[in-house]
Amino acid sequence: MNKDEKIKRINQSVQNTITTTIGIEITDVEDNYVCGKMPVDERTIQSFGLLHGGASVTLAETLGSIAGGIQVYSNNKTVVGIEINANHLKSARSGWVFGKAVPIKIGNQIQVWEIKIKNENDEMICISRLTLAVINKK
């Protein structure tokens, strides 16, 4: 399947989940990365009008989990998050933020992904590391 079809299929698979509830969209996918974007709006800000750190972590875990799932898709395996951390480096009040998940380690039992989230000016908003366990599909 071509890249556009893959992106469309991924975006359809996350319908009616937190991903679509807060407006996350997958924008690019390859074997070694997944990119997406998220709006900074009433769904993703906290009471001071800034991007909520939890929304950034949701974007990070979404991108990393999709990327990890792609790594094991044809092996009757799946991935689940077992640890995530995030450093919030700059605030955002409006527009979009853009994330990219790239692998640090792809193992048979554990995967580690780095997710960088930037604003529309290419300034780093958040950097996150996600650890995934590779498990059998049920």
Q: Which residues are catalytic?
A: 61
Q: Where are the beta strands (DSSP E) in the chain?
A: 25-30, 33-39, 77-88, 96-106, 110-119, 124-136
Residues 104 and 72: beta-carbon distance below 8 Å: no
Structure-token match 């044809």, residue found: 74
User: Would you say 100 and 84 are in contact if contact means Cβ atoms under 8 Å apart?
Assistant: no
**C-alpha 8 chain-centroid distance:** 16
CB atoms within 10 A of CB 42: 7
